[in-house]
Amino acid sequence: MKKIFVINSVEFGGTDLPIIAGPCVIESRDHVLRMAEKIKKSTTAIGLPMIFKSSFDKGNRSSHTSYRGPGLDEGLRILEEVKKSFDVPLTTDIHDATQAKPVADIIDIIQIPAFLCRQGDLLEAAVATGKTVNVKKGQFMAPWDMQNIIEKVKHARGEQLLLTERGTSFGYNNLVSDMRSIPIMKDLGVPVVFDATHSAQQPGGLGKMTGGTRELIPTLAKAAVAAGCDAVFMEVHNDPENALSDAATQWPLDMLDSILKSIIKILHARDK
């Protein structure tokens, strides 16, 4: 039986469809605050609960020359201001076990990146904080193999776990989203999130940068909702082409209302 739990009034695994959204990386304090305000306005108007996401450090960029973020201390200060200003739950990713505790002082959901989903010490450190943990399924893993991740979390006495589907490696520089993974992972007994923007990536496809097919994001998001996902994750930016990270696949802010309206129509049809 799938577990249902609530994080700051946002329900996962029930009838709600939370939207986890925000710019890939913190580019500046003013930018993040502006993005949080506008995304919350859109999700509230359409009737979908929101969790704000942005990264303080992107430790897995394609090139050493790529922008990584403001770092742990400054990044958490900015995210705390977002939380206080707009009363929204927060999520961000960690890449090292030592980051778990300070992040947990501010963040409501600790995200484990797909490349690190099997790292036992990282999972244990995240679970030890008592926060909800969202583990992104590795691009190299089958959905049924996420059972081992669940067992690791349970062994560490974790209570609230999300799994995120974000595509599977299909040859070089390409990802394919297998929508069968959503019901398969839901059958493991945890809520499942669909990452609509990273699933459209072409990892390393531009040499020193990751490419992608932004135009396919609505199709992927709608298919995932129809397949029964419990939440949708998407990175959103007001100027994607000039974003400092994941420029090829962040969803344009001025098109957010449109995709959310499509999603909620499918949600209502699915739940009839």
- Condensed to tens digits (0 to 9), the pLDDT of residues 169-203 reads 998 989 999 999 999 999 999 999 999 999 998 87
pLDDT confidence of 209, banded at 50, 70, 90?
low
Q: Which CATH number, 3.50.50.60, 3.20.20.70, 3.40.50.300, 1.20.140.10, labels domain 5-270?
A: 3.20.20.70
Q: Mind listing the pLDDT tens digit for each residue in 92-141? A: 999 999 999 999 999 999 999 999 999 999 999 999 999 999 999 999 99
Looking at residue 130, its amino acid is G
Whole-prediction pTM value? 0.95
Which tokens sit at 232?
């949708």
Mapped to the 3 state alphabet, what secondary structure does the chain carry? CCCCEEECCEEECCCCCCEEEECCECCCHHHHHHHHHHHHHHHHHHCCCEEEECECCCCCCCCCCCCCCCCHHHHHHHHHHHHHHHCCCEEEECCCHHHHHHHHCCCCEEEECHHHCCCHHHHHHHHHCCCEEEEECCCCCCHHHHHHHHHHHHHCCCCCEEEEECCEECCCCCEECCCCHHHHHHCCCCCEEEECCHHHEECCCCCCCCEECHHHHHHHHHHHHHHCCCEEEEEEECCHHHCCCCCCCCEEHHHHHHHHHHHHHHHHHHCC
- 240 C-beta neighbours (distance < 10 Å), count: 21
The pairing of strands 109-112 and 132-136 is: parallel
| Alpha carbon distance 246, 235 (integer Å) | 9
| Cβ–Cβ under 8 Å, residues 234 and 199 | no
Domain ranges of the chain: 5-270
Question: Can you give the pLDDT at residue 62?
Answer: 65
Residue 271 has pLDDT above 90, yes or no: no
